[in-house]
Structure 1
Amino acid sequence: MHKQNDLIKRINEKYPKLSKGQKLLANYILKNYEKAVFLTAAKLGSIVGVSESTVVRFANELGYDGYPKLQRALQELVKTKLTSVQRMEVTSGRIDQEHVLKSVLQTDAEKIKHTLEDIDEEVFDEAVNMIIDADKIYILGVRSCASLAGFLGFYMNLIFDNVKLIHTNSVSEMFEQIHRIGPDDVVIGISYPRYSKRTIKAMEFARSRNANLIAVTDSALSPITQYADLSLLAASDMASFVDSLVAPLSLINALIVSLSLKKKDKIKKSLEDLERIWKEYDVYDDDELEIYPSKKGF
Structure 2
Amino acid sequence: MGRADDLIKRIQDNYAKLSKSQKIIAEYIINHYDKAAFMTAAKLGATINISESTVVRFANALGYNGYPELQNALQELIKTKLTTVQRLEMTEEKDEIAVLNNVLKSDIENIKETLHEIDKEDFKKVVSKILEASKIYIVASRSSIVIAEYLAFYLNLIRGNVSVVKPGVSDVFEQILRVGENDLVIGIGFPRYSKRTVEVLKYAKTQRAKIVAITDSLISPLTSVADEVLIAKSHMASFVDSLVAPLSLVNALVVAVGLKEREKVADTFEKLESIWDEYGVYISKQG
Give the alignment of 1:234-245 within 5 angstroms.
Answer: 234-245=232-243
Offset at 1:179? 0.7
- Tell me: CA distance 1:264–1:75, structure 2 relative to 1, closer, same or farther (3 Å): closer
Corresponding residue number in structure 1 for 2:63: 43
2:230 matches 1:232: yes
Q: Deviations over 1:101-144 (max 9, x none)?
A: 11211111111011111111000001101111111111122211
8 Å CA contact retained: 1:81, 1:193? no
Corresponding residue number in structure 2 for 1:130: 129
Q: Match for 2:63: what amino acid?
A: K
Corresponding residue number in structure 1 for 2:257: 259
Q: Which residue among 192, 197, 220 is the counterpart of 2:190? A: 192
Corresponding residue number in structure 2 for 1:293: none
Q: Match for 1:162: what amino acid?
A: N
8 Å CA contact retained: 2:180, 2:209? yes
SS of 2:63's partner is helix
Corresponding residue number in structure 2 for 1:8: 34
- Tell me: CA distance 1:90–1:22, structure 2 relative to 1, closer, same or farther (3 Å): farther
Tell me the distance in 1 between the aligned counterparts of 2:100 and 2:67: 29
Tell me the distance in 2 between the aligned counterparts of 1:22 and 1:232: 36
Offset at 1:85? 1.8
Tell me the distance in 2 between the aligned counterparts of 1:161 and 1:251: 20
8 Å CA contact retained: 2:75, 2:235? no
Tell me the distance in 1 between the aligned counterparts of 2:279 and 2:63: 62
Corresponding residue number in structure 1 for 2:148: 149
Corresponding residue number in structure 1 for 2:51: 19
Q: Match for 2:160: what amino acid?
A: D
Offset at 1:168? 2.1
Deviates more, 1:150-159 or 1:6-15: 6-15
SS of 1:43's partner is coil
2:109 matches 1:89: no
8 Å CA contact retained: 2:185, 2:209? yes
Corresponding residue number in structure 2 for 1:162: 161
8 Å CA contact retained: 2:139, 2:166? yes
SS of 1:138's partner is strand
Tell me the distance in 2 between the aligned counterparts of 1:49 and 1:133: 44
Tell me the distance in 2 between the aligned counterparts of 1:159 and 1:281: 22
8 Å CA contact retained: 1:5, 1:77? no
Q: TM-score, normalised by structure 2?
A: 0.77
Corresponding residue number in structure 1 for 2:11: none
8 Å CA contact retained: 2:103, 2:237? no
Q: Match for 2:130: what amino acid?
A: I
Tell me the distance in 1 between the aligned counterparts of 2:247 and 2:76: 28
Tell me the distance in 2 between the aligned counterparts of 1:210 and 1:104: 41
8 Å CA contact retained: 2:130, 2:184? yes
Give the alignment of 1:63-74 within 5 angstroms.
Answer: none
SS of 2:102's partner is helix
Corresponding residue number in structure 2 for 1:66: none
Q: TM-score, normalised by structure 1?
A: 0.74
**Structure 1: which 5+ residue stretches go unaligned?**
29-39, 56-70, 290-298
Corresponding residue number in structure 2 for 1:34: none
8 Å CA contact retained: 1:237, 1:243? yes
Tell me the distance in 2 between the aligned counterparts of 1:133 and 1:21: 53
Offset at 1:284? 1.0
Tell me the distance in 1 between the aligned counterparts of 2:254 and 2:56: 37
Q: Match for 2:145: what amino acid?
A: A
Tell me the distance in 2 between the aligned counterparts of 1:131 and 1:288: 39
Give the alignment of 1:95-134 within 5 angstroms.
Answer: 99-134=98-133
8 Å CA contact retained: 1:235, 1:248? yes
8 Å CA contact retained: 2:106, 2:236? no
Corresponding residue number in structure 2 for 1:283: 281
Q: Deviations over 1:225-263 (max 9, x none)?
A: 101111100100245211111101110110000000001
